[in-house]
Amino acid sequence: MTDEWLRRAAALTFPAGHHLGGESNAGTAGTFPVISPRDGAVLTEVPDAGPAEVESAVRAARRAFDDGPWPRLEPAERGRILLRLADLVERDRDELALLISLEMGKPIKDSHGIELRAVINTLRYYGELADKLTDEAPQAGPDALALVTREPIGVVAAIVPWNFPLTLATWKVAAALAAGCTVVLKPAEQTPLSALRLGELGTEAGLPPGVFNVLAARGRAAGIALGKSPDVDVVAFTGSTEVGRHYLHYAADSNLKRVWLELGGKSPNLVLPDAPDLATAAATAAWGIFFNSGQMCTAPSRLLVHRSIAAEVVDAVVERAQAIRIGDPLDPATEMGPIATARQLASVEEHIASAGARLRTGGQRLDRPGFYLQPTVFDQVTPDMEICREEIFGPVLSVLTFDTLDEAVALANDSVYGLAAGLWTADLSTAHRVARRLKAGTVWVNCYEEGGLNVPFGGFKQSGNGRDKSLHALEKFTELKTTWIAL
């Protein structure tokens, strides 16, 4: 089976240009290498976006919004095109999954089974939603008619990271397109290939030229240019809290564009002594932190476990960590692939080296080409330690213990982040009461990372603002207009 994926990988042709105005465009700013973390080798070169390419992408999107058919199209027709795009992604699912596995190292079973499924579901969700929205006509008395209508906001710059390159892109792109906006997507420099291919499929699906543009870019210049562009109306950003902060500055220094941020996390996972099944809680805690090599904004990176059950739970997590099959992302049996970049690997290793807590397992890179690291568990972690406070974005778990529920909630909320939390208890009242007290955009009870497209996703505190997924995502891409008519 590995051989089959390797054969297909060898036969792949990589996208060779930006996707601008409905066409592939090699640009004039040179190229940069895409390096595969599976072996550290250069996969291919892609064009770099300079100021001219950013400007032409924004101009294409601006023209498509101001003068083109897209915002004025029947919503059902917009929906049909998104559904066609979903079908094309499904048609090319193997190829897109391979591109993701090659460019950022996600195991093929996850890029094919989890990421591409999420992408297709997202496109279908917003495709089906496009003509199901209704406006409001609030009561205005006998002599007036009040209308509250939702209008597409304009040109959206979607700027995304590398850990779930297509899922995070389509959460933004599909909702923005369904709302009638036009889009410039800038993937992370590590993962341009899958995004460029999505751009091509968008045009094949029937998106008019300029409605969906994709720019490959090295470094931050293109992101800064989009953030400061007077012709961009919205930035929809997923990435680190540090960079999200920059986008607020770019908006303040330019046209006060709307800035929506999905940022980092340091999510707590609370295991209470009455957890229904400690083995499941431990297995899920391990899966949650080691899935995608820990490169998850929602990763349950702080395991808070009641002292009376700590030994049992932590031993089980350690056992699971040691059993994880690390390997080539193109091997369908691989459970954990490499870290996405050499730089990210070095950053995770620095956190491990300076941890100061007790290392229970892992901590070493694998002696093979590529950027592989063992699943790592620290216990006896204290709240002041960096590994407890900073987002590591790697397969590193910090374990803390608590004695009382109040202490557990205080520890859980003791973070600048508030993206997600896990809670394990068999008591219904405790579940509801504790969930209410946790400052997090999502609280998972007796599970982790569950949920469909129809529930919102996003953070409290410095994990961001606004929500992806669900009907609520449309709020980011629309303005409300009140029309008051005297009768």
249 is a contact residue toward ligand NAD (CB under 6 A)? no
Nearest residue (CB) to ligand NAD, 261 versus 271: 261
224 is a contact residue toward ligand NAD (CB under 6 A)? yes
Which contiguous run of DSSP H or E holds residue 166? Answer: helix 165-179
List the x/- string, 259-288, binding to ligand NAD by CB under 6 A. ---xxxx-----------------------
Radius of gyration of the chain (CA): 23
Q: Closest Cα partner for 351 from 393, 407, 316? A: 393
Rounded CA-CA distance 324/389 in Å is: 26
Among 72, 220, 249, 307, binds ligand NAD (CB under 6 A): 220
420 is a contact residue toward ligand NAD (CB under 6 A)? no
Nearest residue (CB) to ligand NAD, 243 versus 317: 243
Restricting to residues 130-189, name those near ligand NAD by CB under 6 A.
159-163, 168, 186, 188-189
Smallest separation (angstroms) from ligand NAD to the CB of 146: 36
391 is a contact residue toward ligand NAD (CB under 6 A)? yes
Length of the chain: 487
How many residues in the shown chain lie near ligand NAD by CB under 6 A?
29
Nearest residue (CB) to ligand NAD, 161 versus 329: 161
Cα diameter, the chain? 78
Rounded CA-CA distance 16/306 in Å is: 53
Whether 262 is a known active-site residue: answer: yes
Point out which span in 114-122, 130-138, 235-243, 354-362 binds ligand NAD (CB under 6 A). 235-243
306 is a contact residue toward ligand NAD (CB under 6 A)? no
For 411-416, the CB contacts below 8 A with 24+ separation are: 411/268, 411/302, 411/304, 411/383, 412/268, 412/270, 412/302, 412/304, 412/438, 413/437, 413/438, 413/439, 414/383, 415/266, 415/268, 415/302, 415/389, 415/461, 416/241, 416/266, 416/461, 416/462
462 is a contact residue toward ligand NAD (CB under 6 A)? no
Cβ atoms of 235 and 249 closer than 8 Å: no
Query: For ligand NAD, which residue has the nearest CB?
Result: 223
Whether 204 is a known active-site residue: answer: no
CB atoms closer than 10 angstroms to residue 66? 12
Smallest separation (angstroms) from ligand NAD to the CB of 248: 11
Please identify which of the residues 297, 388, 391, 475 carries the catalytic annotation: 297
* Angle in degrees, CA 281, 451, 288, rounded to 5: 35
List the x/- string, 284-303, binding to ligand NAD by CB under 6 A. -------------x------
Helix, strand, or coil (residue 153): coil
Rounded CA-CA distance 262/413 in Å is: 18
Binding residues vs ligand NAD (CB under 6 A): 159-163, 168, 186, 188-189, 220, 223-224, 227, 238-240, 243, 246, 262-265, 297, 391, 393, 419, 459, 463-464
Catalytic residues: 262, 297
